[in-house]
Amino acid sequence: MIILWIDPWTTTIGFAIIKKENNNYSIIDYWVLLTTPKTDITHKVLEIWSDINTIIKKYNPDIISIEKLFFQTNLKTWIDVAQARWVILYESMIANKKILEYTPLQVKKAITWNGAANKIQLQNAIKMIFRLDSIPKPDDAADAIWLAYMWALNSNNI
């Protein structure tokens, strides 16, 4: 099973591709999509759409999982991220992929058993789980790895 996890934002979007075979997990790839800085959200959404389309075609994931939005104090940022997220969901639906969504709290509890875990705790957990020499960088890509792994842990329930 191939799992694509996307950590949605507008300028930096984290991606991770995890392969699950039986109870073994391996990282196929992880990276970040960088949209053109200081451009209008409409241009960023077009860039995101194009890249998501390419990623889905290249990796043909069985599942696409995306982080749920939580309300932020900056309404403009929240609305822009919601638009970027919508494009990701739309492309996933067009590709006829199963889509799952998780909140940051759900992810923290699944990986560290602590809903109050910080990024360093999550990154160290992923480093140990995948037996990596170092914490994956940049942070948005590392975020996507633990999010994909969290989905893989719960995939037997779906």
Q: How confident is the model at residue 158 (pLDDT cuts 50, 70, 90)?
A: very low
Instruction: State how far the Cα of 137 lies from the Cα of 78, in Å rounded to an integer.
Output: 24
Q: In what order do the strands lie in the sheet with 2-7?
A: 24-34, 12-21, 2-7, 63-67, 98-102
Q: Element (H or E) spanning 121, and its range?
A: helix 119-129
- What is the token pair recorded at 137? 């960088």
In tens, the pLDDT along 141-153 reads 777 787 777 666 6
Domains of the chain listed by start with CATH number: 2-157 (3.30.420.10)
Residues 6+ apart with CB under 8 A from 137: none
Tally of CA atoms within 13 A in the half-sphere of 34 that contains its CB: 5
Q: Mean of the pLDDT values across residues 65-83?
A: 79
Instruction: Return the active site residues.
Output: 7, 67, 140
Phi, psi dihedrals of residue 112, rounded to the nearest 5° = -115, -5
- How far is 158 from 156, CA to CA, in rounded Å? 6
Query: Please, how many CA atoms are within 13 Å of residue 138, restricted to the half-sphere of its CB?
Result: 10
Dist CA 52 CA 118 (whole Å): 28
- Segments of the chain assigned E as strands: 2-7, 12-21, 24-34, 63-67, 98-102
Q: At residue 67, does pLDDT exceed 90?
A: no
Higher pLDDT: 146 or 133? It is 133
Tokens describing residue 18: 């995890």
DSSP tag of 156: G
Q: Considering the entire predicted model, what is its pTM?
A: 0.80
